[in-house]
Amino acid sequence: MDADYRPFHPSPSKPAYTPPEGSVDAHCHVFGPADTFPYAPERKYTPSDAPKEKLFALRDHLGFSRNVIVQASCHGRNNDALVDALLAAGDLARGVAIVDPDISDDELRKMDKAGVRAVRFNFVKRLVDATPRDVFLGIAERVVKLGWHIVVYFEAPDLADLIPFLKQLPGIVVVDHMGRPDVSKGVDHKDFQQFVSLLAENENFWTKVSCPERLTIQGPPYDDVIPFARLLVESFPDRVLWGTDWPHPNMKSHMPDDGMLVDVIPRIAVSEPAQRALLVENPMRLYWNKNEQ
Ligand code: 0GY
């Protein structure tokens, strides 16, 4: 683990909010353990191990039923830890992989069988070396044939440049962490409004209303992030997902208490139908191909 790396919270509180039956944590990771699943040589950070058993225990502790486990940059394009977790979880988890452009159809099929339903394209410069956009497009065209979708991670200043590329992607495109707005600028700022317009004008775009702990300037209980997430939930109720982002890689300011993150949910999805859509119906439709729980 890097010297300045913060491990996940050792004993998250029990949330006051009870998620609806069948809720999905749609953005979380597994890391290592490194002696079984070594970190990628090209990684930009070395986390503390965050194995599947800990993730599944957190899921139960928080009152969730399922996970969508997202491949993180520290494991590069080797999805073994992800696939191992998916196989252990059975029907209770789905996965988002990061793949090589020359991955074989056979390997893609194996991942599909294990529960992978998407690939992730990462544009965050501190996390990855750049991949040419035509390489990403080639991967996208292959995986949509399997019924998979695309997850993208970028930061707000890069959105304007990325929009033409994002619009070329086939199928559903899910944007991580609300496109990482600068919350000090407010929801009416042109940068966030550009993101809102992207979703308004392109019905294949979804977003995760996640990561208040990463976006906040004020800190917990994350009052400064609530208006951003709430606006998205209210504008696009059937295209939003929520996730813990456990084990919260690269947090510099503080390590969140996952119970407190769950307590943000009723502040961003105020009504019971909005909470059911966010936590159950939307992720079940996208990752389990089911209209209802
Ligand atoms: C997240 C956020 C981060 C890291 C990664 O792939 C990754 O390493 O996604 C980050 O550092 O912002 O969603 O886990």
Enumerate helices (H) and strands (E) in the chain, giving the number of each.
Answer: 12, 8
Q: What is the DSSP letter of 240?
A: E
pLDDT at 157: 95
Query: Do the domain assignments include residue 11?
Result: no
Tell me: the pLDDT tens digits for 179-200?
A: 999 999 999 999 999 999 999 9
pLDDT, position 291: 58
| Position in ligand 1 atom list of the atom nearest CA 45 | 8
Task: Check pocket membership of 174 for ligand 1, CB cut-off 6 A.
Answer: no
Domain assignment of residue 85, yes or no: yes
Selected residue with higher pLDDT from 280 and 293:
280
Whether the per-residue pLDDT at 293 is higher than 50: the answer is no
Q: Is 210 in the pocket of ligand 1 (CB under 6 A)?
A: no
Question: What pLDDT digit, counting tens, does each position of 199-244 carry?
Answer: 999 999 999 999 999 999 999 999 999 999 999 999 999 999 999 9
Q: How far is the CA of 30 from the centre of ligand 1 (A)?
A: 12
Question: Ligand 1 pocket, 251 CB below 6 A?
Answer: no
Q: Is the pLDDT of residue 292 over 70?
A: no
Total residues found in the chain within this entry: 293
- Across the range 245-260, mean pLDDT stands at 97
Distance 80 CA to ligand 1 centre (A): 18
Residue 19 in domain: no
Answer yes or no: is the C-beta of 249 below 6 A from any ligand 1 atom. yes
Q: Which of 73, 78, 215, 252 to mutate to test the pocket of ligand 1 (most atoms within 8 A of CB)?
A: 73
Q: Look up tokens 């456990």; give the residue.
A: 246
Query: Is residue 127 in contact with ligand 1, taking CB distance under 6 Å?
Result: yes
Q: Is residue 227 part of a domain?
A: yes
Q: Tell which residue, 250, 204, 212, has the closest CA to residue 228.
A: 212
Q: Residue 155 domain-assigned?
A: yes
Mutate to test the pocket of ligand 1, among 124, 210, 244 (most ligand atoms within 8 A of CB): 124
Give the distance (Å) from ligand 1 centre to CA of residue 292.
30
Whether this model's pTM surpasses 0.75? yes
Q: What's the CA dihedral at 219, 221, 227, 230 to 10 degrees?
A: 130
Question: Cβ(106)–Cβ(63) under 8 Å?
Answer: no
Q: How many domains does the structure of the chain reveal?
A: 1
Give me the active site residues, please.
245
What pLDDT is stored for residue 123 in this prediction?
A: 97
The residue segments making up the domain with residue 248 are: 24-292
Does 169 map to a domain? yes
Q: Is residue 8 part of a domain?
A: no
CB of 207 sitting under 6 A from ligand 1: no
Tell whether 137 is covered by a domain.
yes
CATH code, domain carrying 40:
3.20.20.140
